[in-house]
Amino acid sequence: MNPLWTARAIASATGGSASADFTVQGVAFDSREVTKGDLFIAMKGEFADGHEFIDKAIAAGAAGIVCETAIDHPHVRVADSAAALDALGVASRARSHGRIIGVTGSAGKTGTKEALFAALDRFRPGKAHRSVKSYNNHVGVPLSLARMPSTADYGVFEMGMNHAGELAALTRMVRPHVAIVTTIAPAHMEFFGSEEAIADAKGEIFEGLEPGGTAIVPFDSPHYARLRAKAERHAAHVVSFGLGDGADVRAVDWLSDGQGGSLVTAQVQDALLCFTIAQAGAHWVSNALAVLAAVKSVGGDLPAAGLAFAEMAGLAGRGARHRVAVSGVDILVIDESYNANPASMAATIEQFGSESAGRRIAILGAMRELGAGSEAYHAALAAPLVAAGVRFALLVGEEMAPLAKALEGRIDFAHVADHKAAKARLGELIRAGDAVLVKGSNSVGLSHIVTALTNGDY
């Protein structure tokens, strides 16, 4: 197996000095994620200094260290470890011959990134690379780049932001051949003030496009014209995707497959494709259309992409489905605990209404970073909850108070302070045949409830 990096290449990329010859097969900056053969980058953070965990990384199997001090282990010494990570990411991108795709959006980034990887990996097994988890910020993006093998034919990178200018910096590092905006929604509103400002910030992804690059934009978005105008300033080609007539890549028809997924017929510019998506909901149909547009743009195989959609299981925190026994009764748990904004909440609740279940129980955590509109956004969830036939809503976090008020006299609910209180209350609610939706901002901690349910803690 060819090494991912040699000590000499690391030193050359970072401007550091190597203490010895060594090779690595992976890169990590969290000692808890180090595996045998990794390069551990010891960075000074806001709450911890990675240099304090070098021995732990070595014990876990690290083959080399990037650090700012001399140590008694194979290492490359640099002036600034964080800058060294950036430099390693830039060097990885510079040596790549592959086609690079960048993905951003207010919702659907991770799912779209994972589906793209699955589609391209099915076409060229072992030759596709993507950022793992949601490593999409100023640290996660260069780490994901640094992990990309020089032999990769495709690289898929998720990019996030919560302030203007962040995506501009990330996309110039990634330098995508194809850049996707999945959707625009009121996320991080306290930092932007309007959806138009969010659209402008998401549109920064087009600024890093390589010459001849392709921008992929959501046709159904009310901000489509704004995004397209931004894309046209930087892209040689602009491709729209959506459910509406007029999109370059659109769903001609789609319906439930009766098993929690969708059957879709899509027009992909000059090609017609019929396929199944294992994930449920209109938002996943939209994600799939963006993926197909990207696959076609980088010369991938559309039928292989269609097969990949059918094989994709739900992601932890983003739609994973679990059949579990709780207190001796069987229930369905839908894990959407990683993230939430008004658009994704409404879409997920609407889809939840189509679940076949004895009762529908929704455990909803607060949506964070919504600014002055937070109360109205939370209260507005009452209508989709009622329309979805939710029998009981367990609301978690102080921001949920407006929703609790809006639900009075409409459906049964309880409002609790945190995930611990929700976990204590949940055990008395569940009955055989229930479907339980768990969704909220990651910081609310509803993943603990999913873990308790799936581990049999009740």
In this predicted model, what pLDDT tens digit does every residue of 113-164 receive, in sequence order?
999 999 999 999 999 999 987 788 999 999 999 999 999 999 999 999 888 8
pTM of the model: 0.85
Q: Model confidence at 429, in pLDDT bands (50, 70, 90)?
A: confident
Query: Which residue's entry shows tokens 């990887």?
Result: 117
What is the rounded average pLDDT of the residues 201-228?
97
**What's the pLDDT tens digit per position in 194-214?**
999 999 999 999 999 999 999
375 within 8 A of 402, measured Cβ to Cβ:
yes
Report the alpha-carbon distance of residue 89 to residue 179 in Å, rounded: 18
Alpha carbons 62 and 216: distance in angstroms, whole number: 39
* pLDDT above 80: residue 9: yes
Give residue-wise pLDDT tens across range 271-302.
999 999 998 788 899 999 999 999 999 999 99
The span from the CA of 106 to the CA of 23, in Å, is: 38
204 touches 173 (CB < 8 A) = no
- Which domains are delineated in the chain? 5-78 (3.40.1390.10), 96-311 (3.40.1190.10), 320-454 (3.90.190.20)
pLDDT at 307 over 90: yes
d(CA 406, CA 425): 21
Cβ-count burial 106-137 (b if 16+ within 10 Å, e if not)? bbbbbbbbbbbbbbbbbbeeeebbbbbebbbb
Task: Tell me the pLDDT tens digit for each residue of 16-67.
Answer: 999 999 999 999 999 999 999 999 999 998 889 999 999 999 999 999 999 9
Work out the pLDDT band at 188, boundaries 50, 70, 90.
low
Structure tokens at 332: 């369905």
How far is it, in rounded angstroms, from Cα 386 to Cα 378? Answer: 14
Q: For 415-428, how does the pLDDT look when each residue is reduced to its tens digit (9 = 90+)?
A: 999 999 999 998 88
Per the CB < 8 A criterion, the answer to whether 248 and 241 are in contact is yes
Report residue 31 CA to chain centroid gap. Answer: 23
Separation of alpha carbons 20 and 431, rounded Å: 62
CB-CB contact of 347 with 283 (8 Å) = yes
Specify the pLDDT at position 1. Answer: 74
- State the pLDDT at residue 189: 65
